[in-house]
Amino acid sequence: MLADTARTVVRPWFRRGVDVQSKKDESPVTVADRSAERVMRAILAERVPDHGVFGEEFGQDNAGADYQWLLDPVDGTRAFVTGRPLFGTLIALFYKGEPIIGVLDQPVLRERWIGVKGRETQFASSLGGTARTRQNVLLGQAEMSCTSPEMLELAPHEGWKSLKQQARRMTWGGDCYAYGLLALGQIDLITECDMNPWDWGALVPIVQGAGGVMTAWDGSALRMNGDRTVLAAGSASLHGEAVKVLRACS
């Protein structure tokens, strides 16, 4: 219901010349972001009032609850405002700090990934396809991705440059949609930083349920108060190679 409702709110604003405002961190925000989060918050307040909610646009409510919903109504606002369908709505449910359910919805393409801890990821698209990562890919064969070079200016070290040099190819852009492509076996490796919990929370069950691995750069589990680095790989073996390279540069 949350994803369906957010889709109906966000989709009509796409390529409609919406007004773009800048938040305190200079990141863009539109009426689509704020409207979609308000609607999702209203649904959660009615259905699960004892749960916490942590959204990109309106902060955190009921922070002490074991169950926390993390919402990013338009992850990839820059893509959204420039008419590129490479953004998505992210919805995650955390239990005691661990993401257990994740949804990535692309409102324009009408594609949706659903991940549940311990289960196989489900993917729905008019184009078909199955959520399964590529296995047995060596680093030298890997298609690598990151949202932007500017993001990596805040990296704790420059190990990503070594990964970039060793990977087959580096592609920029994609935001959350790139993780959906990794879950489909189109991308093999994503290295990013400056990531908030609402940026990665929904993606962890999706990547894991498709056969991949998603951690911080040092290989540790992603945490709400972690170092904001994210490493996603299509297989455990590729993840191990990447962590080794990153650790060597730390």
- Binding-site residues sit at 56, 72, 75, 199
79 contacts 173 by C-beta, under 8 angstroms: yes
Q: φ and ψ at 70, to 5 degrees?
A: -110, 125
Here the tokens at position 58 are 């309106």
* Beta strand 169-172 pairing with 143-146: parallel
Structural element, H or E, at residue 181:
helix 175-183
Nearest CA among 190, 204, 199 for reference residue 116? 204
- Please choose, from the candidates 127, 166, 160, 161, the residue with its C-alpha nearest in 3D space to the C-alpha of residue 232: 160
Tokens of 236: 């455990």
Query: Is the alpha carbon torsion for 218, 105, 32, 91 positive or negative?
Result: negative
- Residue indicated by tokens 């996603």: 232
Annotated binding site for Mg(2+), which residues? Answer: 56, 72, 75, 199
